[in-house]
Structure 1
Amino acid sequence: MHSIVVVPMHSTCPDDHIHLDPCESLAFGRAVRPRGPHLFIPHEGVSREAGEITAAGAYWRLSNLSSAQTYVVENPEGAGEHIKVPPGRLDAPVPFEFSRVVLPAGSELLSFDVWAPRHDYLDRTGPRGGAPTASAFPLDRGKRYFQVLVALCAARLRGEPHAPLPTAEELVERLRPLWPSVSRASVAWNIDYLAVKLRLKPAPDSAPGGGPRLNGKKERLVSLALRFDLVREADLALLGGKAQPVR
């Protein structure tokens, strides 16, 4: 599994995402590099060599190569949780599974997202000192993406194996009591993230930027989650109890 996934600004398709394996680095800034991975940010307020992201297994590090600007790394799921990375700071560890890197750029604030979907766990059955065991399906039941997955699977968890999957609007309606700011875009973002977490391969007939691609991804997520018991009937309590299906 890729260690780190970088989602550029204004990304509308998973094909735009940049995947980093452990120890790989990604430079970002206004300069165009002829070779090697690079996140190009074409804004005159961004340094030519603004910074570098380095994958480090289950987390990542940020180097701020600017001479004057402090960068802020936010946890979009936190209550204002963030860290500051001052100018010249190298290899600052970032502890969030979801991160938004915010760059001051003139009168604007620019941002891009970084995901750390890999979770490693201690292998208690083997000899100490061995490599950690990578979880096959690293899901955190306290995250919003897990609520989205439960909402996707809700009707089938209630014993309706052939029930149609909820539309984006129905998912928003179902999740709003738990998540007041939920929107179609945030639901789609979480579905894309679940596809990364659960290692879904792109469908051969997937269509870029359209409904068929998202609907096919939802169906494959639900099929995988139910087949391997990643969600269970008891998880419906995360949606506020065994409420009636959204219609």
Structure 2
Amino acid sequence: MLEGNRVSRISVRGFAVASATAVTTVGAVVGVASGNPQPSNQNLETTAADATLLTNIPMGQQAPVQVSSLAQQADAQAAAADTSARKAAEEDARVKAAQSAKDKRAAADAEAKKAAEAKERAEKEKREREERKKAEERASRDAARSGTASFAQQSSYTVAQVQSIARQIIPSGQFQCFSNIVQRESTWNYKAQNPSSGAYGLVQALPGTKMASAGADWRTNPATQIKWGLNYMNERYGSPCGAWSFWQANRWY
């Protein structure tokens, strides 16, 4: 009986070592598949040595211990996979957030550029309008200072003829404003006279003798009256259009 027991323990030890070696080999294969290095011979020996302790475990409990070791290895690998996946997701989220911020900055820069360009265009158009206005006013003043010798004196003039003379003297951008005033003051009658005030001519100068500064023929020459009227509007209101704006507000100028 003593010898029989001895043989049994040796057999059990051999089985434990073989089982432990098999388990270790399975772990090594799994490790290689997952990219982990294979265990060294020293680790195999240590595992085998540790497995001899199974000889002290009853035969019925050795299989659950081996299964538990495999399950622990699977859990460790699953945890590592989860950690890797989480890190990948975090990196992806970081990249997307950085790209989104970059896109927003680019959009904001584009809007700012468009706003700056629109402002620059508006300022340029304003400057151009002001320059045109100044040019028209200079032309108006130059026309007022120019003589009327180019217009041959006639014994009488039709409304169409008077208007034609005015178009030649008044700058094109100011003619309509000048015409609006003359139409309301004299209906283009160069001999019109206000019986109560004595205002005279196309622009109803008060008194009419003021127009003598533009020419001695102020009573009968519409060109002289137009020249004087243009000069008056320029000096008092800046231009015929300035005079027209005042007229609209006050019904006189």
TM-score, structure 2 as length reference: 0.20
More helix by share: 2
More strand by share: 1
Q: Please tell me whether Structure 1 or Structure 2 has the larger radius of gyration of its CA atoms.
A: 2
